[in-house]
A and B are shown apart, each in its own frame.
Chain A
Amino acid sequence: MRRRAILTLSAIGLLLSAGRAAAGPPEDAAEAFTRGRALLAEADFAGALSAFRLAAKTDTTNTSYGQEYAMLRQVVRMRMECRKQRDTDKWIKMADALRAFYHDHALYTEALPLDQERHRRRRSGDSAVLLAETQLALGMRSETVELLGNLKPDEASVRGGVLHGLALARMGRLDEARVRAKGGIPGGHADSQAWFEFAGLRSLTGDATGALAALSRSFELTPPSRLDALKARARKCADFRAIATMPGIEAAMKTESKIKESKCSQGSDCGKCPSRAKCSTTK
């Protein structure tokens, strides 16, 4: 009787371990998270969400797993909501959020239909610029030239002009691009991104000194929290190949931000907060 019980238990144990071996070892949180990132890079939202969920569930102590899951979950919900939304104002609000997410994750193919829809629903110089930015990220140069070249005079903008020049330069139409680069950027009318693109335009059109100056200006106008990412982007960007070996590039890459960033320190009080005086009146 005793022998029989031992044999039965051993058999159950063998079966269980065999079943486990067949299913493979359980995926650990880090692996699931990395898999989620890879799936997201391929725009597999459902797969990425499921992987992030597994990572967050497996390792509840890692806050970044939970945060990534929560954010992607909201993006997925927003994508579904966006399809149903008929109110253009509400749709644009969601499109803004989704577009920022797509651009942060280099999901330009996802951003393109969104920008096209925005340009269709509420055409303006700004919507054209957003669409042109995504088109350029996808290498659609001729489409960008056509889009920005057909803008009405009242739709023209500094950034649009720069992107137009950049698209021309990337197509090899350097003489036309130089005309765009020659005018420069009217002071005070450009943000960090416009200066960055303008630096690329100058670099492609052979104005190395101007490119370095514009690149430095772009870094100065970038908030400290985003500066490293922009510098990393500059190092990889093909537009800057011509100035990558220039003597001034190191100095330009060391440019510090001149933007005071409002950031909650999560401290015990608002003593050091740069926006503390505005805290009660602004959101």
Chain B
Amino acid sequence: MALTRRTLQGGFLVLTLVGVYVVRGNAERWCPFGGVEALYTYVTEGSLTCSLAVSNFYILGGVILMTLLLRRAFCGYMCPIGAISDWLHGLGLRFGIGPVTVPRRLDRSLSMLKYPLLVVILYFTWTTAELVLRSFDPCYALISRHGEDITFWAYVVSGAILFGSLAVIMPFCRWLCPLAAILNPLSRMGVARIKRDDDNCVGCGDCSSACPMAIPVAEVTQVTAARCLSCLRCVDACPTADAGAIVWGPPDRLGRRWAPGVLVALLLLCTTTAVAASYLFPAASFVKTRGDQVETTTTVEMRVTGLTCRGSATLLMYFLERDDLYELPGYIKLEAWPESGAAKARVTFDGSAASEAGVMQAITEPYFDSVTEVWRFSPFAIEGYDPLDLGEEDAPVEP
């Protein structure tokens, strides 16, 4: 099982690194915690926090489903931070560093830190609709390719976690991870559990020693601790596991031999479902409306460059609401899927009051910013639309 787990950890870590550094994708959109951070703004405003997408919700859904089935298997098999931390601990052991065993009471106190941390993160993110604390986020340090708002402190925190992982097993995952704070209550309800049979147990305590989350497996008949990663190290470590001293289930009829297969199948099922949902139900991550909806509306879909984030989507709406020569009267609804490159946008408007050409002009024509009293060029370009219209129309001539 250790090999299966390492293979999955490695696979997901490689996928993440390729996605970030080779494909140069926005990995924040794959983060399940992003779904938690974006939820409030999406529910109250219909728009997502900047740099996040609807995919965050699907992935969060997949992880929640996974947790309800397999406890915190996401942390043990898929999370890149968990993988790096876990491997570093193995490396530390090989070089004779640690392991440092944290007293149980201290461990319990430290593991409570993630809850106030979650409250702080959500308070600031939900009230500002921005990922204001990511500048200090060790995960952001890993996936942002040295993002423009990253601070020195993000690397200090990352360094401390990596250094600490050499001696203490998965310190961030156990004590500080805000996603773990969300998953723990769900994990407690998790279907799959480690069960220990007193009749066959020889009481060696190897299962407890092997547990990366310091769960005293040898002292319980059933592991209910929310922090269980379903890593099955305890099962691997048990000298009498074949006799049924320790099993992973349910269902009971699936013995130890089946456990890894079922676990991997469920992991992949949840992941595939989440990814497929992102493509099958690509809801807009930015929605803004002006005016009351009319009976007959016209919708135009376009790919817009310059529509990279929530801020630029707000600016696009500002262009659609302009009140100069290119004013669009009546109802307007903008649905946008901001991303780097050409992003999808859908504009629904009152077809009797405005035209498709008018929408295109409103988006691309320069405008006078009456607040700063400065003329500005539109930062947007629409694929397949020439705003200069150099081929057809003549330049306007004053009488």
Contact = CB atoms under 8 A, between A and B. Distances in A.
B298 to A, nearest CB: 24
Q: What is the interface residue range for chain A against chain B?
A: 35 or more
Interface string B355-399: 000000000111010101111010100000001101000011111
Interface majority SS (helix, strand, loop, mixed), chain B: loop
Contact of B395 (A73, A267, A279): A73
B309 A57 contact: no
B315 interface: yes
Contacts of A97: 324, 368, 370, 375
A269 B314 CA distance: 13
Interface stretch (B45-53, B241-249, B273-281): B45-53
B398 A96 contact: no
Contacts of A264: 311-312, 315, 379
B314 A271 contact: no
A279 B312 CA distance: 9
B59 interface: no
Interface size bracket, B side:
35 or more
Contacts of A81: 325
B226 interface: no
B209 interface: no
Interface stretch (A46-54, A115-123, A177-185, A211-219): A46-54
B104 to A, nearest CB: 40
Contacts of A272: 148-149
Contacts of B200: none
Interface stretch (B126-134, B184-192, B328-336): B126-134
B310 A279 contact: yes
A94 interface: yes
A56 B388 contact: yes
B314 A268 contact: no
A270 B396 contact: no
Contacts of B395: 46, 49-50, 53, 69, 73, 76
B397 A283 contact: no
Interface of B: 26, 45, 47, 50-51, 128-132, 134-135, 147-149, 306, 308-312, 314-315, 318, 321, 323-325, 340, 364-366, 368, 370, 372-375, 377, 379, 387-388, 390, 395-399
Interface of A: 45-46, 49-50, 53, 56-57, 60, 66-67, 69-71, 73-74, 76-81, 93-94, 96-97, 100-101, 104, 223, 264-273, 276-277, 279-280, 283
Q: Which 4 A-B pairs have the closest CB atoms?
A: A271-B149, A97-B368, A269-B51, A270-B311
